[in-house]
Amino acid sequence: MMLIAIAWIVFLLVIGGVLLDRTLSGLITRNFDEQLEYMLTAMVASAEIGPDGEVFFSRPLGDQRFLEPNSGLYWQITGEGHEVFPSRSLWDRTLKTQASDHMELMVYDSDQYMGEPLRVMQRPIILPGSETQWSFVVAASREELNAQIARFRSILAYSFLVLGGGLIMMAGLQTWLGLSPLRGVRRAIQRIRVTGENRVTEPLPLEVQPMVEELNALLAHSEKQAEEARAHAGNLAHALKTPLTVLNNAAAAHAPDLDTLVQREAATMRRQVDHHLARARAVGRRATGLARADVGEAAEAVERAVARLYPHVRFDIAGAKEGESMVALERQDLDEILGNCIENAAKYGGGSVFVTVDAVPTDPDICSVWVEDDGTGIPELDRQRIFDRGARLDTNKPGTGLGLAIVRDVVEIYGGTVALGESEDLGGLLVELRLPRAGGV
C-alpha cells in the first residue's frame, strides 16, 4: 500500500510540476517579451526619415541601458542599401537578423554572442517618406529571464519536495492507522494461540468486525470438529475395548471355543470400525463445503438395489423426480442414509415401502424425505433408543443394530435431522429425514 501510494504521489507531483513549470515559465517569458515589445513600439514611434534618406530618432529612448556598452539591452535598425543604425550599447557589434517576407512580429532566441544568450524581437516596418523596408530589432540578454525561471523552478522544486514528503508521511500515517485493526486481530489470534482462548473478544472497529465474526465462526467450527474427533476416538476406543477384553480373557483361560469367540468378537469390532469410518468419511467430505446430490436420483438408485434383495416388497417413490431436489450432501453418504432407511423398511415392514421426496416443498432450506412401511412400527418409548449403536428391537432377523445410528450420525454431520413417527397411510414406521438443500437450488 505504501509503495503504491508513494508511486502515485510521485507520479502526480511530477506531472503537476512539469505542467506548472511550463505554465509559469511561459508567463515569465511572455512578460519579458511584452517589455521588449514595448521598447520596440517606442522605437517605431520615435523613428523618422531624414533629408538624406536615413532613419533617425526624433526623441531619445528612455532606457539608460541603451547608452551603456554591453549592457545587455540593445536595439538596431537596418534597411537594404542603408547603413546599420545601432544602439550605443552594441558598441562595435551588430545584431544578426532573420529574413522575412511578411510584416509580422518575430520573436526568437539567439546565441550570436558567446556567453550572452539573447532574446530578440524583430519587426519589418516601412516608414512614411521612405520606400525601404526597415528592420527594427530589440534584443535583451536572457540572463535575467533565465535567472527568474531558475528561481521559480528552485522554489517549485522545494515546495513540491515538501509537499511530496508531507503527502507520503500522511499516507504512511493513514496506512498505519488504517491497518491498526488488523494488528489488533493479529494480537487477538496470538493470545488465542498462547493463552488457549477460543474466541476473539477484543472490541474492534466495525470495518474488521465481519472478519472477526468469520474468524470466530471458523474457530467454533474447528472446535466442534476437534470435539467430534475426540468423541469419535473415545467412542471407537470404548467400542473396541469390550471385545478385546473378552478375547484377552478367553485367550488367558484357554477357552475351548476360542475360535468361535474370535470370529464373533472380530465381526463386532469390524461393524464398529465400519460405523466410525462412515462417520469419518462424512466429516471429511462435509469440510469441503461443495457437496451436492440429487435426492430423487439417489432414492431410485437405492430402490433398484434393495428391490433385488427383497423381491416380494412393493416400492413406491413419489414427490420430486431426478434433478428437482438437490441437497448439500455427498452422493455416497446420501446413498448410505437412504439405503439404511429403505432396507430397514423392506426388512421389518409388511411388504410395502413408500418413499416421498421433498415431502414439505414449502421450506426453501430443507428437503424432507419420508420413508414409510406397513410393518408393526416402533413404540414411542423405544424410538429414541433405537438410534443407539447396536440397539435392535427384532433380534430374529439378521443385522448389526448400526443402521439407524449411522443414519443419525451422518445426517447430523451435514446439519440435518432424523425423526421417527407413525405412518398415517401404511400404519407402520415413518422415518423423516430433514436434509439441507444445496445453495442456489
292-319 pLDDT, tens digit per residue, is: 889 989 999 999 999 998 999 999 999 8
pLDDT averaged over every residue in the chain: 83
**pLDDT, tens digit (0-9, with 9 covering 90-100), for 151-175:** 999 999 999 999 999 999 999 998 8
Given 1.10.4160, 3.40.1350, 3.40.720, 3.30.450, which CATH number is that of 2-149? Answer: 3.30.450
Lowest mean pLDDT among 243-257, 324-338, 418-432: 243-257
> Which pLDDT band holds residue 275 (cuts at 50, 70, 90)?
low
User: Same CATH fold, 293-436 and 2-149?
Assistant: no
| CATH code of the domain made up of 293-436 | 3.30.565.10
What's the rounded mean pLDDT across residues 390-401?
A: 44
Q: Is the pLDDT score of 134 beyond 70?
A: yes
Q: Is the pLDDT score of 70 beyond 70?
A: yes
**pLDDT, tens digit (0-9, with 9 covering 90-100), for 188-212:** 788 877 777 777 777 777 777 888 8
Most confident of 146-160, 275-289, 321-335, 347-361: 146-160
What's the rounded mean pLDDT across residues 80-94?
A: 89
Lowest mean pLDDT among 8-12, 104-108, 241-245, 406-410: 241-245
In this predicted structure, what is the pLDDT of residue 286? 55
State what percent of residues in the chain have pLDDT above 90.
Answer: 30
Any idea where the domains of the chain sit in the sequence? 2-149, 209-288, 293-436
Higher pLDDT, 200 or 414: 414
> Which pLDDT band holds residue 353 (cuts at 50, 70, 90)?
very high
Lowest mean pLDDT among 206-215, 257-266, 401-410: 401-410
> What is the C-alpha separation between 293 and 418, in angstroms, rounded?
18
